């Protein structure tokens, strides 16, 4: 099971991406748990997860959020803008797996 948390400005703009990532995972037989939250709630949602992804709209917070995530041993990075914009669930899932070393 790969546990992924997406963090964006309000936690809503990534909902379509979450669905596309879940579809991509199902197609490749990967079990996932993916939920999106507002970036302001990141510290409340890091326990027991494999990777934290930031929406490009909050990419300016990357250094601060990586410190927060690192304190819990969770890799964190910004979703590539092109994949986010195109809602490319397959590529974002691959990005998450690479960050999580899974």
pLDDT in tens, 9-60: 876 668 899 999 999 999 999 999 999 999 999 999 999 999 999 999 999 9
State the Cα–Cα distance between residues 25 and 71, nearest whole angstrom: 28
Known catalytic residue at 76: no
For the chain, the domain total comes to: 1
Does residue 59 contact residue 31 with C-beta atoms inside 8 Å?
no
Q: What is the mean pLDDT of the chain?
A: 95
Residue of 2, 4, 8, 74 with catalytic role: 8
State the Cα–Cα distance between residues 31 and 22, nearest whole angstrom: 9
What residue numbers bound the domain in which 87 lies?
Answer: 2-100
Residue 92: CATH number of its domain: 3.40.50.2300
At residue 61, does pLDDT exceed 80?
yes
């Amino acid at each position: 099971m790969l546990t992924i948390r997406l963090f964006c400005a309000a936690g809503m703009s990534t909902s379509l991406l979450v669905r596309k990532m879940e579809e991509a995972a199902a197609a490749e037989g990967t079990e996932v748990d993916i939920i999106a939250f507002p970036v302001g709630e990141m510290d409340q949602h890091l326990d027991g997860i494999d990777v934290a992804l930031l929406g490009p709209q909050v990419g300016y917070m990357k250094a601060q959020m990586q410190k927060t995530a690192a304190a819990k041993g969770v890799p964190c990075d910004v979703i590539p803008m092109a994949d986010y914009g195109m809602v490319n669930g397959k590529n974002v899932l691959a990005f998450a797996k690479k960050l999580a070393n899974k």
